[in-house]
């Protein structure tokens, strides 16, 4: 497994686990946030050519979609980090009585990141999959195409289910969730459930991108 893939998987796992504040508690949440931030810096360094390429080339639909998804991800991440510094119980930047707005921004931006990470993964999936197949040995699996299609269906169904199970829409809109504390949850189910939610948006982004790419390849009608 190469360094980039290791960093990307580390970011994904640390982010999904730190989301579960009830189980990892404050220390685990802030520690994993620091790990995620350090991995993000490595990820940015490995992909630094993306920033340099922004002023070059044509901005077709595919590129615009990718840029908007990445911008949403960077914006939500910046909001999470800025508000996190304000409400931290560990860092000296934390305020004793942080405004409610800071907590709300941290909460909403965190769940926006779930969606944005899904978009990011989906729009970059055509580049990620070959590395994943090579690094994990998936290229040796027979009938991969059929297996991938079945997996997409399962991921989509699971993502829809857990979106309702964890009331994702209500969390994004800061609405009250009846009996939220009574929802049975373990670290495993929470992490897996939010991975499926992320996969739902990744699948959507991937197929939207695929649609525009196929549309571009079609010959113009005369």
Per-residue pLDDT 10s for the chain (222 aa) are: 578 888 999 999 999 999 988 889 999 999 999 999 999 999 999 988 888 888 888 898 889 999 999 999 999 999 999 999 999 988 888 888 889 999 999 999 999 999 999 999 999 988 888 777 776 666 677 777 888 899 999 999 999 999 999 999 999 999 988 777 667 778 899 999 999 999 999 999 999 999 988 887 766 554
Spatial contact of 43 and 7, defined as CB atoms under 8 Å apart: yes
- DSSP-based three-state secondary structure for 94: coil
Whether 55 maps to a domain, the answer reads no
How many separate helices (H) and strands (E) can be counted in the chain? 9, 0
pLDDT of residue 2: 77
Whether 161 maps to a domain, the answer reads yes
Whether 78 maps to a domain, the answer reads yes
Whether 38 maps to a domain, the answer reads yes
Closest Cα partner for 73 from 20, 110, 29? 110
Structural tokens at position 63: 């590129």
pLDDT of residue 186: 86
Question: Distance between CA atoms of 103 and 95, rounded to whole angstroms?
Answer: 11
Q: Count Cβ atoms below 10 Å from residue 63 Cβ, excluding itself.
A: 14
Question: Distance between CA atoms of 77 and 56, rounded to whole angstroms?
Answer: 25
Residue-number span of the structural domain to which 9 is assigned? 3-44+61-217
Whether 23 maps to a domain, the answer reads yes
pLDDT of residue 219: 63
Spatial contact of 14 and 117, defined as CB atoms under 8 Å apart: no
Whether 53 maps to a domain, the answer reads no
CB-side exposure of 222: number of CA atoms within 13 Å? 1
Tell me the C-alpha to C-alpha distance, in Å, between residue 93 and each of 15, 80, 86, 90, 103.
Answer: 22, 14, 6, 8, 14
CA 99 to chain centre: 27
pLDDT of residue 220: 56
Whether 80 maps to a domain, the answer reads yes
Spatial contact of 163 and 200, defined as CB atoms under 8 Å apart: yes
Number of domains in the chain: 1
pLDDT of residue 134: 74
Whether 22 maps to a domain, the answer reads yes
Burial pattern 5-41, b for ≥16 Cβ within 10 A else e, equals eebbebbbbbbbbbbbeeebeeeebbebbebbeebbe
């Amino acid at each position: 497994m190469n360094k980039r893939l290791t960093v990307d998987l580390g970011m994904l796992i640390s982010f999904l686990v730190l989301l579960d504040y009830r189980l990892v508690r404050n220390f685990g949440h802030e520690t994993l946030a620091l790990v995620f931030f350090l991995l993000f810096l490595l990820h940015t360094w490995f992909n630094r050519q993306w920033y340099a390429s922004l002023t070059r080339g044509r901005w077709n639909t595919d590129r615009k979609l990718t840029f908007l998804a990445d911008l949403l991800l960077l914006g939500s991440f910046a909001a999470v980090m800025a508000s996190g510094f304000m409400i931290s119980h560990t860092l000296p930047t934390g305020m004793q009585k942080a405004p409610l707005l800071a907590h709300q921004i941290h909460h909403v931006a965190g769940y926006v990141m779930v969606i944005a990470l899904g978009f990011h993964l989906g729009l970059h999936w055509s580049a990620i999959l070959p590395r994943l197949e090579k690094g994990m040995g998936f290229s040796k699996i027979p009938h991969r195409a059929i297996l991938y299609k079945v997996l997409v269906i399962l991921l989509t169904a699971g993502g829809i289910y857990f979106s309702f199970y964890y009331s994702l829409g209500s969390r994004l809109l800061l609405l009250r969730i009846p009996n939220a504390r009574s929802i049975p949850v373990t670290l495993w189910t929470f992490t897996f459930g939010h991975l499926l939610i992320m996969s739902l948006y990744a699948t959507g982004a991937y197929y939207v991108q695929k649609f525009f790419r196929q549309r571009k390849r079609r010959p113009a009608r005369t």
